[in-house]
Amino acid sequence: MLLLDGKKVSDYELSKLEIEINKIKQSGGRVPHLAAVLVGNNPASVAYVNSKIKACARIGLTSSLVSLPETISEIELTQKINELNDDASLDGYIVQLPLPKHINEQFILDKIAPEKDVDGFHPVNIGRMTLSLPCYLPATPMGIIKILEYYKIETEGKHCVVVGRSHIVGTPISILLSRNEYPGNCTVTIAHSKTTDLKSICRQADILIVALGRPEFIDDSYIKEGCVVIDVGINRVEDTSTKGYKIVGDVNFTSVKNKCSAITPVPGGVGPMTIISLLENTLRANLKQIY
Ligand code: GUN
């Protein structure tokens, strides 16, 4: 079994980005700048945003954090979005999700200028992705693509089953893997909460991508011998360690490890890859390579 090491791929991608950023600096260009909008102080969102800002510093991008109160209204947040759209000093920005319940997420995402939408969540970027036009790809799907590429996993003609149809993982990765390019050219099935007999569908997969949000749900009875397993889950479960918890995926690693041909571990698989596209998209925005 081949362990698909996301940390290794992420370090490789970061060093490539660092070289491009150094070139900008050496030629006297403006250093790419990413802004992150954080509404409220949901602990997971604070941790994610901090890790994005830290990653910027690591490769020499500048960044700023726009912290807004939990009680901000939809109109006030829209005004802030308009300001960021007009701010020529920043190349791209993200609005960390989830937003508080009183704010309509899609309404806000639709207000982000597509050319600054480095998360790739705007309908224009998702539409362009579907048509294989230049666009910003969303973080987790692009991370998965880079892992498949790095390890030269054969995808053409393979049956890929994606479990989960979220807008940020399941739907975009199913589109990417069905496109006429490498990695892609898969026959894709999307399974979701209304799917009947999930197990028999998963057992047909040559490549199984699981983004379900249920700790260790997929065991060896769900997979075909030799399947490539991509585990997108990041679940906190209680344990007896000093921290009191551990992080597990949606796949039961111990159960499937001797049946699959390759697998992303959790932690250390897809997780470390999810920041790469954000940094790469910010660089592309600065160099005007997409729009
Ligand atoms: N919340 C969970 N994942 C993401 C992401 O990739 N981008 C943003 N903005 N929010 C998220």
Q: 3-state SS of 209-246? A: EECCCCCCCECHHHCCCCCEEEECCCEEEECCCCCCEE
In short, whether 97's Cβ falls inside 6 Å of ligand 1 is yes
Ligand 1: centre distance to CA 98 (Å): 8
- Per-residue model confidence (pLDDT) at position 106: 97
Pinpoint the alpha helices (H) of the chain. Answer: 6-26, 43-59, 74-86, 105-109, 123-130, 139-150, 170-178, 198-202, 253-256, 276-286
- Residue 211 near residue 217, CB atoms below 8 Å: no
Q: Which of 52, 111, 146, 259 is catalytic?
A: 52
Q: Which of 39, 42, 46, 48 to mutate to test the pocket of ligand 1 (most atoms within 8 A of CB)?
A: 48
Residues forming a β-bridge with 228: 207, 262
Residue nearest to atom 8 of ligand 1 (CA): 96
pLDDT at 193: 95
Strands 33-39 and 228-231: unpaired
Protein residue closest via CA to atom 1 of ligand 1: 97
Ligand 1 mean position to 97 CA, how many Å?
5
pLDDT at 79: 98
Active site residue 289: no
Q: How far apart are CA 36 and CA 49, in angstroms?
A: 7
Ligand 1 center to residue 90 CA distance, Å? 19
Check residue 125 and give its pLDDT: 98
pTM: 0.96
Separation between Cα atoms, residue 251 and residue 246, nearest integer Å: 14
Distance 96 CA to ligand 1 centre (A): 5
Q: Residue 92 and residue 21: Cα distance in Å, rounded?
A: 15
CA 138 vs. chain centroid, Å, equals: 6
CB 213 within 8 A of CB 169: no
**Contact at 8 Å (CB) between 222 and 205?**
no
User: What is the distance between the terminal CA atoms of the chain, rounded to a whole angstrom?
Assistant: 41
| Identity of the amino acid at 101 | K
**Ligand 1 centroid vs 205 CA: distance in angstroms?**
27
Q: Residue 256 carries which side chain, given as an amino acid letter?
A: V
168 lines ligand 1 (CB under 6 A): yes
Give 117's DSSP letter.
B
Residue 117 Cβ inside 6 Å of ligand 1? The answer reads no
- Position 24 scores a pLDDT of 97
Closest ligand 1 atom to Cα of 45: 1
Residue type, 214: R
Q: Averaged in consecutive runs of 10 residues, what is the pLDDT profile of the chain (291 residues)?
A: 98 97 97 98 95 96 98 98 98 98 98 98 98 97 98 98 98 98 98 97 98 98 98 96 95 98 98 96 98 95
Active-site residue (options: 91, 116, 117, 119) = 119
To which residue do tokens 């490549």 refer?
Answer: 207
The residue contributing the CA closest to ligand 1 atom 3 is 97
Q: Decide if 79 is catalytic.
A: no
Residues β-bridged to residue 93: 35, 117
Any ligand 1 atom below 6 A from CB of 94: yes
Reply yes or no on whether 119 is catalytic. Answer: yes
> Which single residue is written with the structure tokens 């602990």?
43
Residue with tokens 């200028």: 113
Residue-level pLDDT at 273: 97
46 lines ligand 1 (CB under 6 A): no
